Amino acid sequence: MPWDTRDTMSLREEFVRLAGNADVNRRELCRRFGISPKTGYKWLARYAKDQAQSLKDRSRRPLHSPLRTAAELEAAVIALCEQHPAWGGRKISKRLQKLGHAEAPAPSTVTGILHRHGLISEQASAQARPRQRFEHPEPNALWQIDFKGYFATPAGLCYPPPIPDG
C-alpha cells in the first residue's frame, strides 16, 4: 500500500468538494473518509458558513474559566514567591491564609500558578519528585529490619539474633 501524502486540510477540502455533488450519499462518503457522519456534517456546515477559514482546526480552549484563580490572588502568590524564593506551594498557601485571604488557593493550585509564571524551574521540579522506595520485581526481594539494640526483659537482657550478610 503506497504512502498517503495528503494532509488533513486537503482531505477535508476533498470531502467538502465531493459532498457538494447532488447525487452523492454523504454517509457513505463519511465511511470512505473514516469520519463519523456527525463530523462530516460539521465540516459541511462550517464550509457553508465561511468557506475560506472553515476547515482549519479551531482552538478547544474554553472562552471563559469560572473556576480560575482571580488575578489579584495570582499577583499575591507571585509577590510572596518573589519575596521568599525558597517557599513552595504549601508554604505560600498557608501564608496567604494567615494574611487573611479567605479564598486562599490549595497548595497544588499555588504550584500551578508558579509553574505558569516560570517561577519554578524544570530542575527544581525534577528534584522535588518523591522518591520511590521499596519497589522490587517480586515479593521478599528486599527485607528490612530496624535494630533497636539490646533491651531488658524479666528474664534478663535480650540479644537480637545476628543478621547474615548477603
- DSSP letters, 55-74, are TSPPP-S-S--TTSPPHHHH
First to last CA, the chain: 58
pTM above 0.75, yes or no: no
- Residues 76, 121, single domain; the answer is yes
**Any domain includes 140:** no
User: Residue 2: is its pLDDT beyond 80?
Assistant: no
Residue 162 lies in a domain: no
Contact assessment for residue 81 and residue 89, using Cβ atoms and an 8 Å cutoff = no
Q: Cell 517480586 belongs to which residue?
A: 138
CA 115 to chain centroid, in Å, comes to 12
Residues 78, 45 share a domain = no
Say whether both 42 and 86 belong to one domain: no
- The reply to whether 156 falls in a domain is no
17 found inside a domain: yes
Please check whether residues 39 and 77 belong to one and the same domain: no
Rounded to whole angstroms, the Cα distance separating 166 from 54 reads 69
- The answer to whether residues 75 and 40 belong to one domain is no
**In terms of residue numbers, what domain contains 112?**
71-127
Vertex 138, ends 132 and 143: CA angle to 5°? 70
The percent of residues in the chain predicted with pLDDT above 70, rounded, is: 91
As a whole number of angstroms, the distance between CA 124 and CA 87 comes to: 12
159 located within any domain: no
Q: What is the mean pLDDT of the chain?
A: 85
Contact between 30 and 39 (Cβ < 8 Å): yes
Residues 42 and 75 both lie in one domain: no
End position of a domain, from candidates 127, 143, 161: 127
Minimal CA–CA distance to 120: which of 89, 163, 79, 145?
89
- pLDDT tier at 1, thresholds 50, 70, 90: low
In this model, does residue 81 exceed pLDDT 90? yes
pLDDT in tens, 90-138: 999 999 999 998 888 999 999 999 999 999 888 877 777 777 676 778 8
Q: Is residue 92 part of a domain?
A: yes
- Cα–Cα distance between 11 and 27 in angstroms, integer? 16
75 and 118 belong to one structural domain: yes
113 within domain boundaries = yes
Angle at 150 between CA 148 and CA 154, to 5 degrees: 120
Domain assignment present for residue 152? The answer is no
Q: Are residues 114 and 79 in the same domain?
A: yes
Number of structural domains the chain divides into = 2
